[in-house]
Chains A and B, each alone.
Chain A
């Protein structure tokens, strides 16, 4: 009698576990339910148009039947992995991480530019004037290898030392806020390659100065953040795709036309004083635009230094239709 009961419990348990497993299979696969848009964003002023879009519900307005799902992600690698796993339709990142994914066979293209930012390398050591003054003991914090900050540092070291990998083993991977705290502590990190608002905050401190700007490293202006979508999303949900690009356009022109109102919204979002936000979004070098700049320069540099194995012959290989870029 007792044995029988134990047996039946086992049977029930097995059925239970298997039904859970099967359930998992089905629910995992309904990735692109026709009108759903899953958008992954990161944190920072460069993503301001997304905050505007979210706050003013612009995408919801342009895509009435659609369902918009926002996902906050910590870093670019996670967004990329999410897009491979079909959990993210639209992601935002800099051009180098996009090119790395494209090189590794990811089926995705650039849908739009988002912003250009005055990024740069900051230090507190007065003896460090240019990157020539960095010694092998100096540790440089940046978000991660392969990030735009890393590629810009490599560009500058290629120009200065003819060796793009000179600092590769002195890097410390840190998210922007951690990197800023580490730099301000003046302990192990002697330099930090970062972007607004962190770079502005660091430079406010006495003795902190910029060693290298992104523009100097690149030799020209470039787009910092781009919007990328998977081919699956672009092809299967073309309505959603168009609505997204259109909404981004509206959000960007809202910031450019009404910086004051935009600052109101963003101040809430970032928990910063409005005056500060307004100063940041109208700062020199901060541009919100859908144009994609510097794509070829990044690709050439990364190909030349083996960060990627192939480059594109025609920009149509990496840009969706109707994306404007510097010719």
Chain B
């Protein structure tokens, strides 16, 4: 069975959705997103008084003839926004067993967002940090790129340690970056890299993938073993449960704050929540951000 067929339900859930950019894009190709550049596109924006140094070819001669005053015709350019998906395939994503809920959710989110971006004509790409290997689907807007992404995801089983920060270096300036990870084995390098990419003009979407059982662990005591570090063993019983929930919650809140301060949009995706809901939440927040950005520009 083709890999894409296993994502049939999520693809049906996101069909018809759009994903506006948070800030004007800088691509040269024509697309659906607002361009950071003003030019000779069809969509009229405004008239501006001719100033010394403007290109005389952009004068509106008809208006000059009618009013005897020189004005420039300003239009809005539309362009594409490359979307790059960065997925974490470390051992901590292979949980809970046996269904590997976190990795499955990350894959569904990746395919769904790739499909939404591709439907708008945007090129999509995939980068998976998997131990010492990096699985890649190069940016493309051809018709079967979402299929290719699904096929690559099918071949990956999470394991080992895989930092995401080095993958940010492969992202072109101005692209939209989606990072799906549990952020358990990341140090500050990923946040620093994200801050730099965001300051260079890229939209960063950080999806924190969580397992429901990590938020509400079982009440029966057990010995918790870190899958990425066998030496790390802690006993989770009734007395330790409150401390665990408090420290885990504090860490998540701090992580959310730091991502937002870095200029990214941050959202949590829990395995008990459907991938469709998470995608719609991401798109809604992206649309709200886009509206705010437009209003600020207009003021």
Question: Are both chains from one complex?
Answer: no
**What residues of chain A have their CB less than 8 Å away from a CB belonging to chain B?**
none
